[in-house]
Amino acid sequence: MSKPAAPAKQLLHLVFGGELTKLDQVEFKDLAHLDIVGIYPNYAEAHTAWKAAAQKSVDNAHMRYFIVHMHRLMDPETGKES
């Protein structure tokens, strides 16, 4: 009899975006209007959400969406920074 597969480790990713002040810098025009798309348990789901959000704003050259690798900032098991 085989063992059940261990659950995949959560590698949290944040997807968000906003309108930039300049095309060559990552400085947002208005922080109050950032679009927080969501937090996802893995990169694949975050990438799908990022792609959908970016596609909706394709006509606005100043609008950019980003994926933040939250799991690289903090280890959820220990609460310590990675």
- How many C-beta atoms lie closer than 10 Å to residue 49's C-beta? 19
Dist CA 10 CA 49 (whole Å) = 17
* Domains in the chain: boundaries: 8-25+38-82
* Fold designation for 8-25+38-82: Alpha-Beta Plaits (3.30.70)
Helix (H) or strand (E) holding 39: strand 35-40
Helices and strands counted in the chain (H then E): 1, 3
pLDDT mean over 16-24: 95
pLDDT digits (tens, 9 = 90+) for 35-82: 999 999 999 999 999 999 999 999 999 999 999 999 888 765 665 655
One-letter amino acid of 70: M
Structure tokens at 79: 């609460």
